[in-house]
Amino acid sequence: MEYPNLTYIEQLARGDQKIRATLIDVIKTEFPEEKQDYYDSLEKKDYKKIEENVHRLKHKISIFGLEKSYELANTYEHNLREKNRDGAEDFEQILTTITAYIKTI
């Protein structure tokens, strides 16, 4: 199991605590909104919108250094193009993991 980390954010900030805090604030704001958009489109069974939501969330997964999770999300995104939800359970577990991690930073 992979665990989220701030390594990429630290690299971007280059030791500047203000930039680091800003990046974290942006993620803490955007991630829950994007996650809710995903679940809303899922409820509507709007596969195109679900795919778009996964695409946006995939980048947040990457920011947290979750390489294997990124690949799972990428596969799920491609499956959605065929209206295939294979990978949804893994993807949603990733969202749960990130949600829990965000509460700690």
CATH code (residue 65): 1.20.120
The answer as to whether 2 is a domain residue is no
Domain that holds residue 59: 7-102
Mean per-residue pLDDT for 6-32? 97
The answer as to whether 78 is a domain residue is yes
Nearest by Cα to 102 from 18, 29, 48: 29
What's this model's pTM, rounded to 2 decimal places? 0.93
Mean per-residue pLDDT for 57-71? 97
Measured CA to CA in angstroms, residue 48 lies from 34, 41, 55, 69 at distances of: 15, 9, 11, 21
The answer as to whether 1 is a domain residue is no
**pLDDT tens by residue, 82-101:** 999 999 999 999 999 999 99
In this prediction, residue 68 has a pLDDT band, given cuts at 50, 70 and 90, of very high
- Above 90 in pLDDT, residue 53? yes
- Above 90 in pLDDT, residue 1? no
The answer as to whether 19 is a domain residue is yes
The sign of the torsion formed by the CA atoms of 39, 41, 44, 46 equals: negative
How many structural domains is the chain composed of? 1
